[in-house]
Structure formats: structure tokens, C-alpha cells
Structure 1
Amino acid sequence: MRSLHAILLVLLAFGAARAAEVPDPDDLRIAHERFTLDNGLEVVVHSDHSVPIVAVNVWYKVGSRDEQAGRTGFAHLFEHFFFNGSENHPHGFREAMDDLGANNRNGTTNTDRTNFFEDVPVSALERTLYLEADRMGFLAGHISQEMLTREQGVVQNEKRQRENQPYGQVFNRLVEQMYPAGHPYSWSTIGRMEDLKAATLDDVRDWYRAWYGPNNAVLALAGDITVERARALVEKYFGAIPPGAPVTRLDAQVPRLSSPILDRMQDRVPQSRLYMAWHMPPLGSAAVHDMELFAGVLSGSDSAPLDRRLVFETQLATQVGAFVWDKQLSSTLIVTATLAKGADPAALEREVQAVLAASLEKLPAKAELDRARTRLLAGFARGSERLGGFGGRSDVLAEGLALQGDSEAYLSRLRDLAGRSAEQIRQSAFSVLDQPHYQLWVEPFPELKAGAEQIDRSVLPALDAPPEVRFPEIQRFALDNGLRVMLMERQGVPLVQMALTVNGGYASDPAEAPGTAQLALDLLPKGSKDSDAFAIADRRDALGATLGVGSSLNLSFVSMTALKANLDPSLDLLAEVVREPAFPEDMVGLQRKQQLAAIAQQAANPFGAAQRRVPVLVYGAGHPYGRPAGGLGEAAAVEGLDREALQSWHAAHFVPGNATLVVAGAISESELRPLLQRHFGDWRGARPEGSPLPPLQVAPAGELLLVDKPGAAQSVIVAAQPSASGEIDPLALETVMRNFGGMATSRLNRNLRLDKHWSYGSSGYISDARGAPGAFVVIAPVQTDKTGPAMQEVHAEIRGLAGERPLEGEELESILRSQVSRLPGRFETLSSLVSAAIDLLQNDREPDYYYDYASNLRGLDGAALNAAAAAAVDPEGLRWIVIGDAARIEAELKALPFIKAVRRE
């Protein structure tokens, strides 16, 4: 049985002359075997021994569609119960996963299924299967009223947090209006608040008995495991679990609207947005795959008809999209368009309709259809590089078996994507778009218009010693022009990931023009000396490549993933974008509008609003590091940027002497060097001289900035200060901060979510900043009526971090064990290798930092961690931001003992 890696190697046969050909779906087959236990549990196993981890993925065939009106939200609520421990291990699943070093883990619920997944080192596989089996078969006796009350509070805060975001209530409205009352899709997955509050202990116990038996589940294992070992472990831990009662399956229910539904709603959004939605057949049908292609032709690329007409030509929209929401009973085609500032909504609506009508009048051209095919197939290939998580191999196999009864359902989809004809696609589009549709305008509120044998389950399986992890050798060389290269060769999947990285992130913006770097970067793929934006997008899609830009505080990137067979022409495109951007006047004006719209969106989002203000709080408005986080800049400055300013920034920073090309994937140095010489060898330019950083201009300690958001369902609490992070052992600091605020069971989350259920989730971190202190930041969204008490808890946790509550005992042992055990999955993907190399560049570190990473982690102890924490944080030096409903919270904030002054905005 060959692994996916081995099978995918046939793609190497594609030469440069065949660069534009659509990949063969059968080359993307995921080799696997299946078996079924006597109790009905279906198991699928995929073997890949390239890294010592196994992806464990359990799918239960139950979702919100299986609920009843008046009892909604049960599937999602019960997902939360699965993380609270079980009868034989009543200590919490999150804690267990952190302890054994799991990565890429979560639980999710949608309309049709509930799934739980984690990537674990092979040393922890047996314990993981024990835990998954125990919560499958032995959860009922552990469910308590206390647990129900806690999780009701957590889910209600999750609902508030989702709906507190711009456009966060759209899909609740869409399903309620599109589906008739009582249809299984007529309520949101998270449920209605009154139903969540009304759930009783008997309700949830009945729900568990009805849906979570092994006969209603699929277990997928992918990674460093054989079928023989999988069978033995699954039989051992799952085999004796009795099946549940027979489950009644719902048949497809595709509604048809009798007439169009025209709807409007107001939300706290910066721009109006149009949503148009049509009912479609269920997932897995050829018609749905046709509509994926139709949507891919319609939008998703600068040259696609919807993007080109609405965003570039008429400039009526700042963002458009078309996608298929495929579901088991019926699917949905959704088209969106975000209205540009000052544009006419009626004109936008007419243009969307005109583009849709034109797309039905004629067959899509072969070239544009092939680009859509290649984009979708290459996206699948990139997703299946992973063993677990969304789009990973275990996820793909489990989804097909759970929802369609076929672990190779994905292959049928890929074959349709590659082979359906233009006429078939057009006919499917006619049948969908000919129906009445639902249309929703979301408009701003006026104030925001800007084994079978029995085992002893009381004994937790032992953990083996964590597998040894070796970071791949970083091969470093330079071209004659000074361009440095960092190569991490990893054969297997025929993909190559690259990031052309230059010194100069958004901190390099001119003092009077924050936002320059972001605008210049966004324009790199919008036109070159020889190609306009649409030709660049067409070449990228035909090659099956991705092309992106971005920046951090100190670095800017142009990133690309390429199929190995298409690497030469992909590098040609990368070099053209990096070296020869044209900054055409029409695109400068258009992208400027896009960035202004993004600034408004960021400011309207409570989290975005907080992140815009944190740098000023920590570094001061006049410091290069004091610009709004993310690099979007200030609206007034962006409005004044012209083509010459952008060209000047690019010319100063995008030179080979200032750049490093980071490469990871199926390429050797001997193959890569001549390609780079061909495409970058005649590039010229030396590294510019930098300027020293000015002193910090820190806001007074104890000051609180209160940003008023009337009617907000939550308050977003922020605590921040400069940290002495640059003088502290980075591994000790990473470890202690992960325990404090960087994982689901961190101290912050345990306090505000798990213990008090005031928040859906909180985080604490220290950012990187070259040549200056990093920023210590805590962000905690909480329900409005707990704002003051939650700030007191945050302050107490920060005092604990700084020394009042040292890391010791089981907490210390667990975080040290977790840090070492999670290493096998830490560098699983090419993107993780590229990110690690960029981290070396950001912090001026040598490769030894990652070569010795595992051994240095194993050498940490409590003294090192507590010393790092105490040095990094000063509880008396905090600055605060709260974004929420000032009328409800201002008085209690002023009364807090550690707040010295309140400034309102």
C-alpha cells in the first residue's frame, strides 16, 4: 500500500512544457484501508511514516439538523461536554491533550456532523485512543448540573462573541429566512439563546444516548501507524463499547422558494454588504461540483468576471466572492459584494445581476475553466499535505465515510472538478440560478457609517518517551548579487513553498505615511512591466500556484506555493512580481480604496479596534513600532499615498542585498540554484542603511482607554506594556507564556472560560520586536456585566505570572511535558518550516536555535521559567484598553484599585 506521498510523486512527470495542464485527480488519491468493528464503529487508516505523529479524527453523524425546534444548539453544546473529562478520566480532555503534546486539535460542529481531532506523537497514540473511547462510551455518568451550567455560559459567550463581530449575525438571518419553519437547517448551529438557557440535565443525557454510540461514528487514523497496529488498538479500546440505538437518517430536503425574498438588516458594520443565495442539491452530487467550478470561474481571482467588473472596472465593491456551502440535505450557492464607500447600492445590485446573467449566456472559456479546475485541485493538494485538521488526509477520509458512506467520495469530487464539461456546468448553473433566490442587504447603523476484550478503564495508559525530532538542515547559500537563500529540503508531496523576505516591515513606513508598506505590497501582484493584474492572476491559476503578500513589524514577504513540476514558470512569475511591479495608476487608486475599507473594517471589529490601539499604548504614537498593528496604517495617510511614494518604498527595500528567499519542499540545492540564477541572478541592489530606533513614549502606567461601543454584547479587555523579552531565554519565555495565555487550558482560559464561563476564550502573548522590547499583551473578551470583575481576574493572573503564583508541581511538569511532546507536529508542514526560518531572520538567530530546540526544551526547569516570567512582566506597569458599552461599565472601571485614570474615546 503506497502512501499519498509516494503516489503524488507521479506529478513530477509534469514538465515545464505541460505547466498549464490540469492535474490528474487520480494522482491525488489517498491510499487507505477500512474495517468495521462488531459494534458498528467504522475505521479508516492511512499510513505515512514521514513524521512520528498520528492524526486522530472522530466524526459523529450528528449535527444541528438532528435537533428539534425549541431545542436548538444541542449538538454544539454537547461538543463542549466532550472536553470535560469522562467517567474513567474525569480530569478534562484539553488538559490531557496539552500534557501529551497534541497539536492541531479541536472539536467542531456543523449542520451535519460533530468531529474531534488531534495530531499526537506516536508515543501518545494509545493514551489518546483510550481517551477518545472513554468519552464515546463512558461520558453519561460524568455529566453534572455544574458542568451543564458552566458550558451553557461558555456557549452563550461564544454566541455573543460571534454576533459581536461585523456581519456576525448574517448567517443566523440567512438560514431563518431561506428555510421554511421546522426545516432542519432553519436554525443556526450554535442555536438560539433561549433554547441554550432552557436545556436540562435530562435533555443532554438523552441527547448523548441517542447519537454518540460507535454505530454512529467514524474513526480515521492517518500517519505513522500500520493497519495491524490500528486494528489492535481500536479493538482494545473501542471494541467493548455497546452500540447505541438505531439512528434514523434524514433524507435530502431541498426547499424551493416560491418567490424572491428581499431582506434588509442593520448591523454595526462599516460598509453595506450584499448577500445573494440560492438553494442547491445536496453535497456529493455532480451539480454541486459543477457549481463549485461555476463559482470558481465567477470569482476568486482578479481576472474573474465578478472581481474584474465590480472591483476593478466599476469600483462599486471593495470585495466580492462566490462559494458553495455544501450540506447533506441541501446546499447553497452564495454570492457576496461589499459596497465601496460612496457607491450606489442599486448600481452594485444591477452589476452583480448582469455578471451572473452574462455568465449564463455563454459557455466558460476553456482557459478560465481550466484555471478554476487547477486552483481547486491544487488547493486540495495543499490541504492534504497535512495529516490532520481541516482539509488534512484524516479529515478528507472521515468526511466522505461519515457523510456519504464512501471514504473515496473526495475522489469523485476531484474527478468531477477535472472532467465536467462547460455545457454541464452551464446547465447546472441555469437550474440553480433560474430559481427564486434570497437577497440580504446588511447596512450600517447610522453612527457607524464610516479491542472487544474488557479492559481496566481506571488505569490510564502510559505515555511512551516522546519521539526524537530533528529539524531539517537549513542549507544556506547566496547568489553573486547578494540574494541569500535558506533551503529546507523535504521530499514527499511534490510542493515547494517559498517566501521572498525583505528587511523592512510596516515599521519601515515613513513617519508621516503609516500604511505605505501594506499598500505597496498589495500592489505587487496588480501589474508588472509586462503583465496586468488579470494576466498575473491567470498565470498563477494556470500553474496551480498561490501568490500572496504580507508584512510583520520588521519584515515584508512575497510568498508562493508551487507544484514541483511547475516550479520554473512559477519562479518566473514570482521574480516578475517582486522585481518589476508597475504600480499602475488605476490599480493604485483602487487598492487605496481597498485599504481604506479594510481600515474601517478593522476599526469596527472589537478585536481589530483593540489591536490598532495596543502599539500606541506600548511604544508611543511617534515610535516606528507605535503604528496600528497589522500595517494597514491610518486613513488620512493612506488617502495621500501616490504611485511615486510606493515606488520609492519598493525600490529602497526590494533589492537582493536586503532579501532572503526561504524555500521548503521537494527541491534540492543542485536543482534550485540554477533556477534562481536564471530568474534572480541579474537583479541588483544593496541593503539600505537603517536608522536607530528612538526611545519609547509609553503611556502612563495605570491609564485606561475606554472605547465606547454602545449596545455591545461583550467588552474586550486589553492589558499591555513593554516587556524585557529581548533579555530573557526565549525558550523559557515561550513556555511560560504558552502556559499563561497561549493554549486552551492556559491560566487565563481556565479562569475566565473554564471556571467562570464569562468568556469564550482569552489570550496572552509577547510579540517580537527587533531592537526594542516586545509587547506583552492580554486580550480578554467577556460578557458586559462581568467587565469589572474580569479585569480584576486578569490583573490577578498577571500578578501570578510575575511571581505571586510560581509554576510548580503538576502544572510545571505538564507544561514541560507538553512542550517537548508537541514537537513532532510542530514542523509537520512546509509552511511551518518556512515560518521557523523567518523567525530566525526576524530575531537574528542561527539555525542551531532550531537544531538544538528539543534538547534545550528538555533542559528547562521551574527556576528558568519563573525567572523568565518575573523578568518579562510588571503588574504595576500595565496600561489598559476596554472596548464596550461605556454607559454600562464606566463607573465600575473607574472604581478598580489599579486604574489611575480613565480616558474615554
Structure 2
Amino acid sequence: MRHLTTAALPALAAALALSACAQTTASSPASTPPPAAQAALPKDLVAAVDIPFEKFTLANGLTVIVHTDRKAPVVGVTTYYRVGSKHEPRGKTGFAHLYEHLFFGGSANVPSFDIPLEAAGSTPTNGSTWYDRTNYVETVPTGALPLALFMEADRMGHLLPAVTQDKLDKQRGVVQNEKRQGDNEPYGLMSYAVGEGLFPVGHPYRHETIGSMADLDAATLGDVRKWFTDHYGPNNVVLALSGDIDAATARPMVEKYFGAIPRGPEVRPVQAAPVTLTAPSSREMTDRVPVTRITRNWSGPGLNDADAPALEIGLHVLGGLASSRLDNALVRGKEVAVSVTASAQTFEQVSFLQATMDVKPGVDRKQAEAAFDQVIADYVQQGPNEDEVRRAVMSVISGEIGGLEVVGGMGGKGATLAEGELYSNDPAKYKQDLARMAALTPADVRTALQRWLSRPVVSVAVVPGERTESGETKGGWGDEDSTRPPPADPKAPAAKLPPAPKLSEPPVAPIADLDFPTVEHATLSNGIPVALARRTAIPKVALSIAFDAGFAADSLDTPGTQALMLAALEEGTTTRDATAIAEEQERLGASISSGGSQDRSNVGLSALTANLAPSLALLADVVLHPAFRPADVARVRNQQLTALQQVQASPQALAQRTLDGLVYGAHPYALPSDGLGTPAAVAALTPEALRAAHAKWLRPDLARITVVGDITMAQLKPMLEATFSGWKAPAAPAPRKALDAPLPVQQARIVVLDRPASPQSFIAAGRALPIKGTTQGTEALNLANDVLGGGFLSRLNGDLREDKGWSYGVYSAVSRPVGPRTLLVSAPVQTDKTGASVKAILADMAAFPAKAPPTPVELQRVTEGAIRGMPNSFQTNGSVLQAIENNERLGRPDDYYETLASTYRTIGSPAIEAAARQYLQPDGMTIVIVGDRKAVEPQLKGLPMPIEYHAAPALAGESAAATETKDTSQ
């Protein structure tokens, strides 16, 4: 992956009616739970899913798929190349991914791929590499489609003249820091061991896509040029255009820009198949991890195999459902595990079949492992029952359909069509897969499980302790030894290339301002405000109940209370246990979630419109009638304590929670923004404490309901009244968080948390800003931050990643809570560049704008690019819901996003410079560094600020002495 990305919210999409179920009102507990809803048959769900398309092929072999979706004036451009890490020969591991990075470095007629597209409103512009393919995605306003096609064609046909030794060296450094960043996380070395255990040396799926450091070091300019000419011809490409476009319009555009590119060599098929081992194998690794993680692994068939759908459903029943076999037996039953999962990760020619257990602290590992193996063995022998298959199919199909709400990106409709064509010669392969799943019987699943999971297993365990292995030596073929030929000189000059034709970028057509959905308002009889935005693209509703609480509410209780209370809601009500809650959601095709932020505690619902009434009844039971049974509370408390250990083992998470306290002092925001609290505080929380917090904060006079989806207010309000009208506010006044509490004086300092042998340092810097409340009027600050560090093209990322190659990504952000805002900078950097990176960050911040005001290109990119990118920001119901909630929380009008374009157009360079001078300077920044003190300390000498050194928190298996603190200052 070239850019850091965030996961999209899952969604459901299906055009069918589900029969309603009997329900009780939410005003009082029911004596017995309502009968489970009768969900429609999966085949009915599948029949409603359709992505119509047209396909054509150019004379040079380029395959083009076009899908028309007019709901927004955007087009997803999705390009799949038939080359991935499985195509890498010995000594060339990591090449496919390295080339993905180089592909963004400009081509003969496009000096920068990112700048024109971001300025045109592309969101996102990204790429990724995996075993079978390399893909590139951008979603652009319709008027920018010619530009996007021109640029994709130029780098497909005329990239090599722009690939220089300097670019290769810089992107090599970026990729190696991406590898270090992944390796540095807890359990970061485990996937290497799984691949090595499942496949012999030389198997195409054995080595990691990131590759080995040695192979990356040895890459020459000639090597990467040959990689391009061997694999990047148009005849090895599928181009999918999805959105506000049709085939009649698309074909002449594609012919114009791609038609003259000559065919390349055909990518030769790779021989790869699942491997049946002769005997079971096991491997144990020690690492700085909070709990022991046990995995069972098998290789399985590829995605075109008849068993693939059955294995996906079978593994989902085992450990994917909230009510899975492993969850019910080991987490809720014997309580020997804090978490379990199982999945079939399916690729073109093989799949990775895995079951995972995190052992509960204090439980004997042998006892837990025996129970884990027994559940798997019994399940493989017996197979699932009819209800499990039906719930799993409904869950998986709903999740698959969810991504189709988006036209482009990594998982939208364009990617679905392109992958079907690339791997199966059928863009509609998704229909075949869903139909196979819908037709599965328990016997089908049992047969597939017995065929594949009765073979010898690869067991990999990671246990707490000091890390004894290094990722620096992993990721290659695994046969590196003294007999291997010496690598070529990575600085060897490459042959000169003939000049490319001179071409000009097409203009970008203007776009209309954003048309944000109309927001209707109502108030329930008990005073709860309701906001609704109707969207009819899919028959689904997204709903959120937001409470004015959040993690800052813990300042009036015990740290970690809100997170634990919210997590316990789905563990049982007065009429249902956790399994019943999970199973009912799965039958309904609904999903209930809970979580928090600094300012709000949220309980959300995603439901099919036709089944909204029973879904609301279930939601109300969860919100209003949690049981907080001692056994349930003890279970989720152990899970939260384990999560705390996990964040203390993660350099990024540890740096952020440390920074929160240092920046905010005694303010409510000083509590860690992850909401997990502290080990001592969480361990002391009781069911009574959670009941008290629930009564104190989850009350109707602190609640607001926001709904987005295919429903009218006339339909919605009676449902909400029937469900929530009996919910009354208590007599006690609502609590008030002290968000106006004074802040400590912001002073420059460095705090180093010593984490020995870390392959990277994580830098988190921040300071509180004298801004709070509504974000209206601070748009110039947002644009100024975009220049400094708010995106891939920002100055910080351009300096430390693209120019110096010291990091995989450096970003800054200005938080937007109700109370005081915070300026934050995050930078994972290679260890030997820690001190230089701190100096570079401070220098870049100080130079803006005194020495380097915004350039015209930057100004156009952050203003006009932001305006053009807005239509793509609200494709999903979830994104609209979040926008409405943000407007309410920050006191902004409903039409804020519709007027934002006009606001941006009034902001010029003087306003951006003024905001940067006032808020984005490095003065008073607290800098937290999580890394190896021995390596870092000499690099920090001479910095003009106090420096403190502390040990990172001790984890399970480490000596308590590791927590002793040593302070020094300069």
C-alpha cells in the first residue's frame, strides 16, 4: 500500500422485504425476549444485487469495463495490472510493491501524478500490491475524467524516462520504512512464520509482498525498468470505470489516451497450488506482546475452486460471526481466551485458512490450547448446523454488498468488476460466488472443511517476552546463503532510453457546488431530537444515538468507564444473553455497534429498511436494558485490560496516549483519547459502577438520534415513538463535563519512552490550541494544516518521506472536539534518523509561512482540490450521518457543507499564512518518542529543550524493573 488508508464503514444493501417480528416497547423490560425475526432467504438477497456493465477491448489488449451509476457526479477509475508478488523470482522479492511506489513518481509528460489529481478533486488517489495483482485507484469529479485517463495512460506508456536513480533510492527507503513500521507492531513478525510454514522455498505465495531488505537493497535501475517492460503492457491490464459515465462516452476517451500504447509481453502464468504437508509443524516466537497468540493454519484452494465459498462460510461460522463456535466455547464459555477469529483469506490460486486465539492472561496455555484444538476438531467432524450456515451466509453476503455502495476505491464496484475479469474472465463473478454461498447446505460446508482442515496443520505461537527475531532478515525466498550469486551493483547505470512523445494534459471541466442531502428535524415526545437525511440509493438505514458523554466523561467517573460500559451493552440484557443478541442481528441482516470519542458516546444501527422495526426493538433492548451481569462484566473487563496491554505494546498507540496527558494536564482531555483508561482503574470497575455510569450518561436528555437512508420522516418517527417514547429522563440534573477547565502552559520538551531493539522510532508531537467550540471560522486553519501536513502532498510528508525516504508517512492534524483543539504531528521514522527527523519537523513548521509562504500550486490544491473532492466524500449513508453529527456537535448549520465551497473560495494566501503563524508553529510542542534509547539519545544532544527518558510500560513476561524511570534534561 502506498498511502496510509482507513477502513470504510461496512454497510448492507439489499432490495427485499423482511417479515416483521413481534416486539416489546423499550419503556420496560419484556418478560421474555421477542421471537427471532424471520430473515428472507439468502437467494432473495443475492437476486437483488446487480452491477450492470459493458466491456470492450482495445486492439492493444487493454480490457475496459464500464458501469453507470449517476447518484453522484464522480467516476471511479480502477486499474488492475496482472502482476503481484507471486511473480517475483528469487532475489527480486518486494519488486512488485516497490514498483507500485515508483509508479506515482511521475512519467514523461506528468512530473507529478498526485498534484494534478488532488487539485482536480481526486479522493482517494492510491495503489496497493498483493500476491496476484497491483492496482491503482482514483475517484474523480466527472469533469476530471479526461485528466485521470491521460495520466494513467502516460505512466502506462511513457513511465521509464522519469524513473531515475534518485527516485529509486528514495522510494526504496520509503518501502523499507513501511516494512519496519509493520514489523515494529505487536505480532508484526507472525505472518512471515505462517508463510514459511505453509509453503516450501520457491512457492510463489511463500514470501511476503513487502519483500526482504536484502532484495530491496540490491534493486538496480535496470531491474526496475525490466520489471516495467515485462509486466506493465496494456494487454495485462483491466481498466474499470464506474459512476457518472457510460460506455458510449468512455470508449472514445479510452481510445484517445490508451490506444497508441503498444502491447507488451504476456505475463506468464505462475504455477502455484495449495500444499499438503507430510506432517504437522509448529513454531514459537517471543515478542513484546501483551498475550500469547495461538494460530492454526492450512493452505487452501484458490477463488475459482468449487470449495472456496463453502470454506469462507465454514470459517466464518467457526470464528467470524459474533456468535461463532470459538467465541461461544472459548470466550464466553470456558473463558480461556480474550479473543478468537477464523477466516479464509482467498487469493487467485491459493487461500490461507486460519484460526486464531489470544489466550486469556492467567490461564494455563496448555489448557487453552487443548480447548482450542478440541473445538476445531469437533467442528470439522460435525460441521455447522442449518441456522449457523444461514446466519453466516447472510452476514458474509451483507458485508460483500456493503462495499458496493461506493463506485471506486479499493473495495467498490469498480474493483469488484475488475477482479472478476482479471481472475475469472468474468466481471460478474461476484454473482456466481454469492449464488453459491446462498445455495450452501451444512453438508456442503462440512465436506469442504473435512477435505481441507483435516490435513496436517501449521501451528504458530507468539508468546510474551523479549523479541528474539528480526524482520530485517525476513520476507525473502528463505534460501539466502553463501552459495547465492552476489547481487548486482544497485548503483549500476542503466541504458539510455529513447525520448517519449510530448503530450499535454487535458483541461478539467468545472463542477457544481455540493448538493448535500436535505436534513429534516423532529422531536420525540420524550424530548429526543431526531435528524433525518433521506437517501434512496439502497434500501438501508444507518442510525446513531449519540450521547453527550464520551471519554471525557470519565473525568467525572473512573478512567475507562465509558469504554467498558459501552462494550458491555451487547453482552446481555435483562431478557437476552450475548449469543442471542448476536444471532438475532445476524438473522435480521442488522448490525449494532457501540463506541466513543472524546465528546460523544454512540450506539449505532445498520438495518434493512423493511426490517427497521424489529431492528429498533433489538437496539432499544441493548441500550435501555443492559444487565451488566458480573460474569459478562468480568469478561469484557479482561478484554479491555488486554486491549490496554496491546496499546502499550504498540509504539504509535503508546506515544499518543502519553502525549494526551502531557498536553492537557488536569483537563478532561488529558485522559487517553483511546478511552481505555488505566490498568488499575479498569481492574477496579464493577457491575455497579457500570450501572451507575449507564444511568448517569445514557439518558434521553443527553441523546440525539440521527438517521440516514431509505425512509421518510412520516415512516420513521412513529417507529421511534413506539420504541423510545417510554424512556424518561431521571430527576437528577444531567452531568456537565468541565471542558472549560484551564490548560497547562504549553512548553517545549521531549519525552523518550525507551523500547529497546525497536527497528523504528515513533514520534508524536502536539500542543493544545486556544480554540474551542464550533469549527466555523477556522477553515483557513484547516487549509493551512493541509499545506503543512494534512495529506500525502503536504510539506512534512514531502520532506521526510518523498525527499529523504526516512518514513512511510508523516502527517499533522488539528483535532475538532467541542473543547480545546490540539495540533498533532505523527511520524514513524527509521531509528538512525530520529534526531534528524525531529529537527526537520521543527524546521518545516517554523518555515511556514515566515520563509516559505503557500505556493500558488499549494493554494490551488488545498482550496479548489478540497471543493472538487467534496461530492466523493458523501457517497455512503455512513459518511452523511457522520457529517450531520459533526455539524450538530460543533454548532454548525445543516447546510455547512453546501456553503463550504464558497467559504474556501474567499480564503486566500494571507488568511492561510495568518493561521499558520498563530497556530502551526513549533513553539511549546511536547514531543514523545517511542524507540530505542541507546540509539536515539546521542541523536538528540544539542536540541534546545528539556529531554526526559522513561522506560516503556512493562508487558507480560517482562521484568517489573523495566518500568523504572530515569530522567535527564538538557
Q: Same fold (TM over 0.5)?
A: yes
CA–CA distance in structure 1, aligned partners of residues 651 and 685 of structure 2: 27
| Residue 694 (structure 1) shift | 5.8
Q: Which amino acid aligns with 1:760?
A: Y
Q: When the two structures are aligned, how many residues end up with a matched partner? A: 888
Cα separation, partners in 2 of 1:512 and 1:654, compared to 1, 3 Å? closer
In the TM superposition, what whole-angstrom CA distance separates every residue of 1:446-470 from its partner, at most 9, and x where no partner exists?
Answer: 599xxxxxx9752110011123311
Instruction: Indicate the residue corresponding to 1:492 in structure 2.
Output: 537
Partner residue, 1:815 = 862
Letter in 2 for 1:679: T
1:573 aligns with 2:618: yes
Query: How many angstroms does 1:739 deviate by?
Result: 2.4
Query: Aligned partners of 1:712, 1:323: CA distance in 2, in Å?
Result: 30
Q: Which of 188, 192, 197 is the equivalent residue of 1:177?
A: 197
**Are 1:522 and 2:572 matched, yes or no?**
no
Paired letter, 1:649: A
The CA deviation string for residues 272-313 of structure 1, in whole angstroms up to 9 with x for no partner, is 101111111111222111011111111233422101111112
Matches within 5 A, 1:500-511: 500-511=545-556
SS of the equivalent of 2:307 reads helix
Contact 2:571/2:577, CA 8 A, preserved across alignment: yes
Alpha-carbon distance between aligned partners in 1 of 2:349 and 2:191, rounded to the nearest angstrom: 17
Amino acid at match of 2:248: E
Alignment gaps of 5+ in structure 2: 1-11, 22-36, 469-499, 952-970
Q: TM-score, length-normalised on structure 1?
A: 0.96
* CA 1:798–1:22: 2 relative to 1, 3 Å: farther
**Aligned Cα RMSD in Å?**
1.8
> Matched residues in 2 for 1:9 and 1:654: separation?
30
Q: Tell me if structure 2 keeps the 8 A contact 1:41–1:217.
A: yes
Give the AA of the match of 1:602.
Answer: V
1:750 paired with 2:763, answer: no
**Match in the other structure for 1:643:** 687
Cα deviation, 1:13-52, whole Å, max 9, x if unaligned, reads 4442674123421211211111111111111111010100
User: Which amino acid is 2:697 matched to?
Assistant: H
Deviation of the 1:180 alpha carbon: 0.6
SS of 2:449's equivalent in the other structure is: helix
1:852 alignment partner, SS class: helix
Q: Which amino acid aligns with 2:852?
A: R
Matched position secondary structure for 2:552: helix
| Contact preservation (8 Å) 1:280, 1:331 | yes
Distance 1:376 1:154 in 2: 36
Preserved contact between residue 814 and residue 822 of structure 2 (Cα < 8 Å) = yes
Q: Which deviations, in whole Å up to 9, do the C-alpha atoms of 1:327-381 show, x marking residues without a partner? A: 1221121111111111111112111111112212324222221110110111112
Work out the CA distance in 2 between the residues paired with 1:696 and 1:440. Answer: 50
Match of 1:850 among 892, 897, 906: 897
1:340 is aligned to: 360
Contact between 1:80 and 1:151, CA under 8 Å: does it hold in 2? Answer: yes
Answer whether contact 2:562 2:675 (CA < 8 A) is retained: yes
Q: Which among 60, 63, 80 is matched to residue 39 of structure 1?
A: 60
- d(CA) in 2 for partners of 1:243 and 1:778? 45
Contact kept? 2:147, 2:506, Cα under 8 Å: yes
1:668 and 2:715 matched: no
Amino acid at match of 2:388: E
1:252-285 C-alpha deviation (Å, 9 max, x unpaired)? 4221111101111122212110111111111122
Match of 1:118 among 138, 154, 168: 138
2: CA distance between counterparts of 1:570 and 1:311? Answer: 26
Residue 811 of structure 2 corresponds to which residue in structure 1?
763
Once residues 378 and 435 of structure 1 are traced to their aligned partners in structure 2, the CA distance between those partners, rounded to angstroms, is 31
Is the aligned partner of 1:30 residue 2:51? yes
**Do the aligned partners of residues 371 and 409 (structure 1) sit closer, same or farther apart at CA in structure 2, a change above 3 Å counting?**
same
Determine which of 145, 154, 158 is the counterpart of 1:138.
158
Question: Partners in 2 of 1:694 and 1:236 — Cα distance?
Answer: 60
Match of 1:657 among 677, 701, 704: 701
Distance 2:145 2:439 in 1: 40
Q: Quick check: 1:730 aligned with 2:778?
A: yes
Q: Distance in 2 between matches of 1:435 and 1:743?
A: 47
Distance apart, 1:439 and its partner CA: 0.5
Hey, what does 2:836 align to over in structure 1? Answer: 789
Q: Which moved more, 1:396-405 or 1:837-846?
A: 837-846
Correspondent of 1:704 among 737, 750, 764: 750
Worse-matched range after superposition: 325-334 or 500-509: 325-334
Measured in 2, the distance between the counterparts of 1:807 and 1:338 equals: 49
For 1:533 and 1:557, the matched residues in 2 are separated by 19
Decide which of 475, 479, 488 is 2:520's aligned counterpart. Answer: 475
Confirm or deny: 8 A CA contact 1:724 1:871 kept in the other structure: no
**Matched AA of 2:607:** A
Quote the offset at 1:673 in angstroms.
0.9
Deviation at 1:606, TM superposition (A): 0.3
Inter-partner Cα distance in structure 2 for 1:532 and 1:397: 41
Q: CA deviation at 1:213?
A: 0.5
The residue aligned with 1:16 is: 20
Distance 1:337 1:108 in 2: 29
Q: CA deviation at 1:685?
A: 0.9
**Aligned counterpart, 1:539:** 584
Letter of the aligned partner of 2:544 in structure 1?
A
Q: Does the CA-based 8 Å contact 2:787-2:854 persist in structure 1? A: no
Q: What per-residue deviation string (whole Å, max 9, x for no partner) do you get for residues 194-229 of structure 1?
A: 000001111111110000111000000110001111
Structure 2 partner of 1:452:
none
Q: Given residue 623 of structure 1, which amino acid in structure 2 is its aligned partner?
A: H
- Determine if contact 2:383/2:449 at 8 Å carries over to the other structure: no
Q: Distance in 2 between the 1:804 and 1:695 partners? A: 36
Q: Is the 8 A contact 1:52 1:467 kept in 2?
A: no
TM-score normalised according to structure 2 size: 0.89
Contact kept in structure 1, 2:14 and 2:608, CA below 8 Å: no
**2:445 corresponds to:** 425
For residues 22 and 858 of structure 1, the distance between their equivalents in structure 2, rounded to whole angstroms, comes to 51
- Name the structure 2 match of 1:4: none
Q: CA separation in 1, counterparts of 2:757 and 2:901?
A: 48
> Bigger shift: 128-137 or 387-396?
387-396
Q: What secondary structure does 1:682 align onto?
A: coil
Give me the whole-angstrom Cα distance separating, in 2, the residues matched to 1:573 and 1:232.
52
Asked whether the 8 Å contact 2:195–2:208 carries over to 1, the reply is yes
Q: Percent identity, aligned pairs only?
A: 38
Residues 607/419 of structure 1: CA separation in 2 closer, same or farther (3 Å cut): same
The one-letter amino acid paired with 1:417 is M
Where 1:726 maps in the other structure, the secondary structure is coil
Deviation at 1:511, TM superposition (A): 4.8
Cα distance in 1 for partners of 2:315, 2:786 equals: 40
1:723 maps to amino acid: L
Deviations 1:557-604 (A, max 9, x none): 011111122111111111111111111111100000000000000010
Q: Is the 8 A contact 1:720 1:776 kept in 2?
A: yes
User: Given that residues 716 and 884 in structure 1 are in contact (C-alpha distance below 8 angstroms), is that contact kept between their aligned partners in structure 2?
Assistant: yes
Match of 1:719 in 2: 765
1:415-462 Cα shifts (integer Å, max 9, x gaps): 1111111101100000111100110011122599xxxxxx97521100
Runs of 4+ in 1 over 3 A off after TM superposition: 12-15, 691-697, 725-728, 801-804
Which range moved further: 404-413 or 840-849? 840-849
Tell me if structure 2 keeps the 8 A contact 1:69–1:182. yes
Is this contact kept in 1: 2:283–2:459, CA < 8 A? yes
Residue number in structure 2 paired with 1:349: 369
2:260 to 237, 240, 258: 240
Q: Aligned AA for 1:582? A: A
> What amino acid sits opposite 1:762 in the alignment?
V
Q: Map 1:161-240; keep pairs closer than 5 Å.
A: 161-240=181-260
TM alignment of 1:67-146, pairs within 5 A: 67-89=88-110, 91-146=111-166
| CA distance in structure 1 between the aligned counterparts of 2:612 and 2:125, rounded to whole angstroms | 32
Partner of 2:27: none
Q: Secondary structure at the match of 1:175?
A: helix
> What CA distance in whole angstroms lies between the structure 1 residues aligned with 2:281 and 2:73?
53
| 1:475 counterpart SS class | strand
Local SS of the residue matching 1:838: helix
Distance 1:476 1:803, change over 3 A: farther
SS of residue in 1 equivalent to 2:70: coil
